[in-house]
Structure 1
Amino acid sequence: MKKRKIEVAVISDVHLGTYGCHADELITYLNSIEPKKLVLNGDIIDIWQFSKRYFPPSHLKVLKKIIGMASKGTEVFYITGNHDEMLRKFAPTSMGNIKIDNKLVLNLDGKKAWIFHGDVFDLSIQNAKWLAKLGGYGYDLLILINSAVNWVLTKLGREKYSLSKRIKNSVKGAVKYVNDFEQVAAELAIENDYDYVICGHIHQPKKEIIKNAQGVTTYLNSGDWVENLTALEYSFKRWKVYQYNHDKLSPFFADEDLKEMDMNDLIASITTKADLSEFEVNGEQEESLPRNEGLSQDSSGM
């Protein structure tokens, strides 16, 4: 399979070890890409609901795939979330190409991206963790029931249905919580001069430019691999919300996106890659390449 080469891929809320996790689809996605950086933005392993009775081979294959990508040169950043908060005691730490931390700031073509899971904004987790854990078990049960319902619907030739999405969209408090979450994250990013703020946690994939009196930022959410099966991809100086059920193995950009690109940016991107290929053919050392472009990690941030 020919892999799509991208600069950064961000996934979150995989919830390995739970019945709702779509591990097979995630492996298919990871097999289709070759990112320079892979950001695991929290809740990858669901330690809250971890059970020795349920951790199927496909879930283990996801972990093996990620480790394999790191061994082949991909930088892997594991950002801790609330369901895998036990890993926070090890942050920051580094094991080869795998780094564990609570937050990350990346320099992407001269712009700063602030990446964190987002549970810090969740008052139910901060003040009543037992209630949040109970809600996690209830959510997992709902997903399990939903799987049975969708199996029946598929047999009847009807479209699948998401019970949790219906509940979330019909409860005003849930809608307000999501809107408040996005607004707070964006306002903090603007206040601290971040061009992008990237979260997970709320299982709502999104890309939106948010402005206020102080400035502007791009809010991004990687969604999840329980219901939405989504990721974020960065390449050609653009962010895209990847949707497995719609995009499958399609090219990074549709024609509409290419039309919106500045022609100079497109030419510069192509010629830069061509120059790098020629550089490698000539047998030069990578260290002598100019470093005024590309990605770099910034240890600053909140």
Structure 2
Amino acid sequence: MKKRKIELAVISDVHLGTYGCHADELIAYLNSIQPKKLILNGDIIDIWQFNKRYFPPSHLKVLRKIIGMASKGTEVYYITGNHDEMLRKFSDTSMGNFKIMNKLVLNLDGKKAWIFHGDVFDVSIQNAKWLAKLGGYGYDLLILINSFVNWCLVKMGREKYSLSKRIKNGVKSAIKYINNFEKTAAELAIENEYDYVICGHIHQPKKEVYENKNGSCIYLNSGDWVENLTALEYSFKRWKIYHYNHDKLSPFFVDEDLKEMDMNELIASITDKDVHIEDITKDFFGEEEENMKPKSLDDQSFSQD
């Protein structure tokens, strides 16, 4: 089957390296599209909870697929998030079609799109990172429990159920936080004359027009690949939210030519030089935590670039 050609695809909050990540479904989605640009909007690799004992082959295949897409001409932008904040020290690094950055501004058919992960709005992360990490482990445990519950439900012939979504949608403080997050992002975008503001972080896929006395913008959130399995797509001057569970096409599996290539060959194909995955892994995961502090977000301007 032919792949869908689209201008731009945005995915975020994949959380590779955790039990909640739906890597197989993400591979199927990536194999169904042929985007000119692929935006990875933060928390792709969960370095906070990275465990060398748990990084299944399907998770590695996602990385291979992304690098393979870059080697075939897709522009890949990796925007850092809080769970992969260690990569912020590599900000503005470029390897062929693969670029790492903290935020991105794109011109889409004469309109400006402002893209960033969104953790900069999260006070708990900025001021009490240890507490945020503890919450992350609790969330991972909830996902494990949810996986067992869903296994039982499938055995009984019933539909799967998301405990985390139920909690988020039922707790007033969570609803208030999400509403404040969206409102803050939209108001800053309007203030700085952006037409679109695109975030991740809160695992809530959304497309909504926001207006105030200063103007309007479209707020978009790509959701996640843990609870919602969603992405944003842009083509023909329009945005849509892709829902894997509702919009999935016939499954696409890993490209035959990619099966024959290891990670070192894939990286070399987009950089034109010999780079070893072991060296990159050492750079990412081999240092002590105190030596892995990211660049401060205080000196990052969130005004118009």
- TM-score for both structures, normalised by structure 1: 0.83
Is contact 2:193-2:304 (8 Å) kept?
no
CA distance in 1, matches of 2:78, 2:157: 40
CA distance in 2, matches of 1:101, 1:249: 31
Look up the match of 2:216: 216
Deviations 1:214-259 (A, max 9, x none): 0000000000000100000000000000000000029xxxxxxxxx
Deviations 1:165-204 (A, max 9, x none): 1111111100000000000000000000000000000000
**Do structure 1's residue 37 and structure 2's residue 37 form an aligned pair?**
yes
CA distance in 2, matches of 1:165, 1:13: 15
CA distance in 2, matches of 1:192, 1:301: 5
Deviations 1:67-99 (A, max 9, x none): 000000000000000000000001011010000
Look up the match of 1:10: 10
Deviations 1:248-293 (A, max 9, x none): 029xxxxxxxxxxxxxxxxxxxxxxxxxxxxxxxxxxxxxxxxxxx
CA distance in 2, matches of 1:71, 1:125: 35
- Residue type matched to 2:32 in 1? S
What is the correspondence of 1:54-203 to structure 2 with a 5 Å cutoff?
54-203=54-203
Q: Secondary structure at the match of 2:210?
A: strand
CA distance in 2, matches of 1:65, 1:209: 33
Deviations 1:19-67 (A, max 9, x none): 0000000000000000000000000000000000000000000000000
**Do structure 1's residue 24 and structure 2's residue 20 form an aligned pair?**
no
Is contact 2:17-2:55 (8 Å) kept?
yes
Look up the match of 2:244: 244
Is contact 2:17-2:54 (8 Å) kept?
yes
CA distance in 2, matches of 1:12, 1:97: 19
Q: Secondary structure at the match of 2:148?
A: helix
- Residue type matched to 2:60 in 1? L
Q: Secondary structure at the match of 2:17?
A: coil
Percent identity over the alignment is 86
Q: Secondary structure at the match of 1:161?
A: coil
- Residue type matched to 2:192 in 1? N
- TM-score for both structures, normalised by structure 2: 0.82
User: How many pairs are equivalent?
Assistant: 253
- Residue type matched to 1:108 in 2? L
- Residue type matched to 2:162 in 1? S
Is contact 1:104-1:301 (8 Å) kept?
no
What is the correspondence of 1:235-274 to structure 2 with a 5 Å cutoff?
235-249=235-249
CA distance in 1, matches of 2:159, 2:95: 44
Flag structure 1 segments of 5+ consecutive residues without an equivalent. 251-299
Q: In the TM superposition, what is the alpha-carbon distance from 1:105 to its structure 2 partner?
A: 0.3
CA distance in 2, matches of 1:166, 1:231: 21
- Residue type matched to 1:190 in 2? I
CA distance in 1, matches of 2:2, 2:24: 19
CA distance in 2, matches of 1:82, 1:97: 23
CA distance in 2, matches of 1:212, 1:113: 18
The runs of 4+ residues in structure 1 deviating greater than 3 Å are none
Q: Secondary structure at the match of 1:160?
A: coil
CA distance in 2, matches of 1:178, 1:19: 24
Q: In the TM superposition, what is the alpha-carbon distance from 1:301 to its structure 2 partner?
A: 3.9
CA distance in 2, matches of 1:162, 1:226: 10
CA distance in 1, matches of 2:141, 2:105: 35
CA distance in 2, matches of 1:249, 1:106: 29
Q: In the TM superposition, what is the alpha-carbon distance from 1:210 to its structure 2 partner?
A: 0.5
Is contact 2:45-2:83 (8 Å) kept?
yes
